[in-house]
Amino acid sequence: MSKRLVAACILLLIGSMPSTLRAQVGIPYGGSELFRFKLHQMGLKPLTEHQWKWERQLHKDLLIIVIGDTACLSEYFPDDDIRDLIARGGALLILSDSGNHRFGGGGARWGDIFGVQLSNVSLITRNQTGYEGKNTKPFVKPLAPVQNQSPSPFDLFKNVTVGGPTGIATDGPTELRAPGNRQFLAKRLAEYPDETRWKLGAPITPEGNTFAVSIQPNDGVNPPRGRMIVMADSQVFANGMMGFKPMPDGSGDYFNDNGNWEFAGRTIDWLQGGYPEKRTQCLFIENGRVKEIFADERPQPPKPPMPKLPPDVIANWLLNSANNIIPWAEENDLFNKYLQNWFGLPRLVRMFLITMTIVFLFVALRWLTRGMRKPEPTSTITKNVQEGLLPRGGVLRQRTAAQIEVGNLYEAARRRVRSRFDVLGARPNRDGKMPPLLTANDIPDGPLLHQTIRWIWTIGYSETPVGVTPGDWDRLNSLLERVSARAARGDWSFGQDV
């Protein structure tokens, strides 16, 4: 999916924008709308709080995402449910920079279960080396894989650099220690650059220099069914950290000045796998609250009705379009190539000969049939028949009757139009053309009204006769009444020739 299409989906589905434009649409910098749209894009369906509390046994293929405060895990996972979830094949993603363990003793239950310790001290880097030139936004440094199998959690940081368009940017991260335990195997995936230190000034400890860690059951099953990722930053996938920026040339396209958006996709893809079937259910908890909507699609506005255009207008559109296509097709020999590729030359010759033979036989049979007919004797025309053949009424009535007989009411239509349009000043200009047509600016169907009046004027004043069928006669009278009424309302009028 192109960056322009992604940005358009963000605007239409969730209304999110990069940090430079978020003030225009009211989307918070630290919100998760963009990350949740990524979940929707990758086929994950949100679970409501009610579904989780009352139907959790139906969701063993579950992906749980916890952002921010992790104390809520005790509420949603009583007893040892969190351990059982990962052991059975569930997946868990924790994005937090809140301390879950005081170094030296004590700690939150989930940290003790998986052997993970988070500090609550923010880290900074050297000036001008962080994302957007800020020392509170250090980039991360991928670690070398300790295994060569694929898929691997180290794939999350594949081809990631320290900074640049593929760099992973953080915002106020913290220390992470992952000593692990016998039940769960911990793998350090990424750390911070060497110049990273505590915000208070002390250098970061070597054992705490970890940004992301992978946790999987150590039960001998290969590959492990459950998957867990812990990252020491709650803002790494926030709206303002995804790196979407508008192109400076004003083209409406977007570019990424970091790799967080693609990193989010790789993380979700890794956590969806591992289970016998791809995980499709997601419980999303942000600062203790369940988010039950990932993307809200806006209905498309109804399409305007198609205008009722006269056939001659449609014909003109088709002809104008064909005038540009046909010369190009002839220049590239498109028709001959199509026929040869579809039918082949031998088949075309055979079809031509068969067609010509059928036509010849049809003409010969018709000629023979005519030759077999006998001349009919001339019938005697009686006096009553002769009187019936004599014309009746005046010349005008005779001509009208003749026009009705042949199906062309041109002269009657011409008189009808002139009787209505003469009083409106529709007489031809000195060059024989229709006088200027003036229409009001606030009428919505100006082009269609203009086309209708021109068609009526052509019947009444054109020097070239126009065929008017009985069906056209009825349509002409109906349209003539409408445009006359609109002229009386002031919607249009004929101008003066200057």
pLDDT band (50, 70, 90) for residue 1: very low
Has residue 15 got a pLDDT over 50? no
Would you say residue 276 lies in a domain?
yes
pLDDT tens track for 81-106: 788 888 888 899 999 988 775 443 33
| Residues 262 and 411 both lie in one domain | no
| pLDDT greater at residue 280 or residue 497 | 280
The answer, as to whether pTM is greater than 0.75, is no
pLDDT of res. 126: 86
Q: Which domain does 466 fall in, by range?
A: 395-494
| Residues 285 and 426 both lie in one domain | no
| Residues 270 and 404 both lie in one domain | no
| pLDDT greater at residue 77 or residue 35 | 35
Has residue 125 got a pLDDT over 50? yes
pLDDT tens track for 364-387: 998 888 877 655 554 455 666 555
Would you say residue 274 lies in a domain?
yes
pLDDT of res. 380: 52
| Residues 405 and 258 both lie in one domain | no
Would you say residue 360 lies in a domain?
no
Would you say residue 246 lies in a domain?
yes
Share of the chain above pLDDT 70, in %: 80
For the segment 28-48, the average pLDDT, to the nearest whole number, is: 91
pLDDT of res. 107: 40
Average confidence score pLDDT of the chain: 79
Would you say residue 273 lies in a domain?
yes
Please give the tally of structural domains in the chain.
2
Would you say residue 117 lies in a domain?
yes
Over the chain, what HEC string results? CCHHHHHHHHHHHHCCCCCCCHHHHCCCCCCCHHHHHHHHHCCCEECCHHHHHHHHHHCCCEEEEEECCCCCHHHHCCCCHHHHHHHHCCEEEEECCCCCCCCCCCCCHHHHHHCCEEEEEEEECCCCCCHHHCCCCCECEECCCCCCCCCCHHHHHCCCCCCCCCCCECCCCEEEECCCCCCEEEEEEEECCCCCEECCCCECCHHHCCCEEEEEECCCCCCCCCEEEEECCCCCCCHHHCCEEECCCCCCCEEECCCHHHHHHHHHHHHHCCCCCCCCEEEEEECCEECCCCCCCCCCCCCCCCCCCCHHHHHHHHHHHHHHHHHHHHHCCHHHHHHHHHCCHHHHHHHHHHHHHHHHHHHHHHHHHHHHCCCCCCCCCCHHHHHHHCCCCCHHHHHHHHHHHHCCCHHHHHHHHHHHHHHHCCCCCCCCCCCCEEECCCCCCHHHHHHHHHHHHHHHHCCCCCCCCHHHHHHHHHHHHHHHHHHHHCCEEECCCC
Would you say residue 304 lies in a domain?
no
